[in-house]
Amino acid sequence: MNLAILGTGYVGLVTGTCFAEMGNQVTCIDIDQAKLAQLREGIVPIHEPGLEALVQDNLKVGRLLFSDDLESAIIDSEVIFIAVGTPPNEDGSADLTHVETVAREIGEVIVNPIVVVNKSTVPVGTAEKVRAVINTALTKRNLVVEFDVVSNPEFLREGSAVKDFMFPDRIVVGTNNHKSRRVMDELYDAFAKKEGRIQYVGTRDAEMIKYATNAMLATKISFMNEVSVMCDALGIDVENVRRGIGSDSRIGPSFIYPGCGYGGSCFPKDVNALITVAKSAGIDGAILEAVESRNVQQKRVLVDKVVQHFGDDLAGKCFAIWGLAFKPETDDVREAPALVIINELRNRGATIQAYDPEAMDTSRAELGDENIEYVGDPYSAISDADALIVVTEWREFKQPDFRRLGKTLKSGIIFDGRNIYNPARVADYGLQYEGIGRSSILFKEGQ
């Protein structure tokens, strides 16, 4: 099948590449000439395991093309995917400017029957808006073209997006059009061999499923983070609590790991967008607002622990930061807890020595170079540092040389923002441990 993907951001690039891998002819459209030049050379501008190799393979065999020629790509395609960004407005709502722009451009050039698939994360009712914009453009051309707008939200996790696309839990398709359904069946057949993998719903249902999914996952995270704060206050090890409730089959172990807050391009944006949707419908989104509020507070929990140990004036203090990306296996620092933590510490006079396996360049673009040094390995970060703050649970941080940490860190304190270390083991090396909802004091008392 001939496909056009409008937008070569995270979603568009993964979508187009994976469809090409299955034998489709895919043209990815973008207006960023520098990015297009990179992609044509097989250079992927984001860190996503396995993606660059697939891009290179499909470029070589000619199934994957990168272009700025929107008109040619649309005319030659049977299905058009809209995969442009929907950044948040100041009020938290989704900015649909890019979606509406490409919808108008589609209406200005289509001449043959076509299926338009919205892959971008959008508010309820966007498919109807896209249909109206395309119809308006066709009316101005005095042309009637058969088309349908389908909602097909993505459920890709950064760090495992290729696997998620190739082996999906479910494929949600919003359409009531039988012709479109046959097209989507054919397109996704290779990805949905297991019965019931494709779920057909209305366009509004599909749009709500995407928002509700991310809001539910964010809710689990914020709930457990709030429990961790209570555990800190009550002298309880939150990890025991987590295991206790996670073994209940009605709850399960996923997304109840306490930490220093969630980030990325999805959860923060989608929770706030759903809050706006609720308000526009005259509904009190109190739970969603609480989820967002807890996450904002959680990003400062480690800062509060640092201040408890060192005081509010951190002039002359140096802190090692392990992990800058919002999660492992990505270079994405959007809404990353590390950015908040570093800025809070610098505002109090501290200097930072930071290391991340992938997110050094993206972090520098956000944080600049004032009172922060970006170093080449984890142990360079702890040199002359007063304490270590672990923010992202990269694999290479999980079994460090605690003896070396004990000899190097001036204060001998580890602030563990993801609870990846065993406090008792840390204490064996003479180090003090401060986690999220757990402290080495508990273990010294034998609790």
- The pLDDT score that the predictor gives to residue 445 is 46
Consecutive H or E run containing 4: strand 2-6
For tokens 């360079």, the residue is 380
Tell me which of 18, 28, 231, 266 is the catalytic residue: 266
pLDDT number for residue 446: 44
pLDDT of residue 194: 72
Work out the mean pLDDT of the chain and round it to a whole number: 95
Spatial separation of the C-alpha atoms in residues 321 and 381, rounded to whole Å: 7
* Closest C-alpha among 92, 432, 117 to residue 276: 92
pLDDT value of residue 447: 45
pLDDT mean values, one per 10 residues, the chain (447 residues): 97 98 98 97 96 98 97 95 94 94 97 96 96 98 97 96 95 97 95 85 97 97 98 94 97 97 95 95 96 98 97 98 97 97 98 98 97 98 98 97 96 96 92 88 49
Output the pLDDT for position 310.
97
C-alpha closest to that of 70 among 138, 152, 7: 7
Residue 195: predicted pLDDT: 72
Closest CA to 122 of 288, 270, 6, 263: 270
Task: Decide if 266 is catalytic.
Answer: yes
Residue 403 neighbours by CB under 8 Å, 6+ apart: 429
- Residue that has been written with the tokens 């076509």 in this structure: 114
Return all residues near 411 (Cβ < 8 A) that are at least 6 apart.
309, 310, 386, 387, 432
Distance CA 213, CA 178 (A): 26
Helix axes 51-60, 10-21, angle to 10 degrees: 50
Q: What is the DSSP string of 207-266?
A: HHHHHHHHHHHHHHHHHHHHHHHHHHHHT--HHHHHHHHHTSTTT-STT----S---SSS
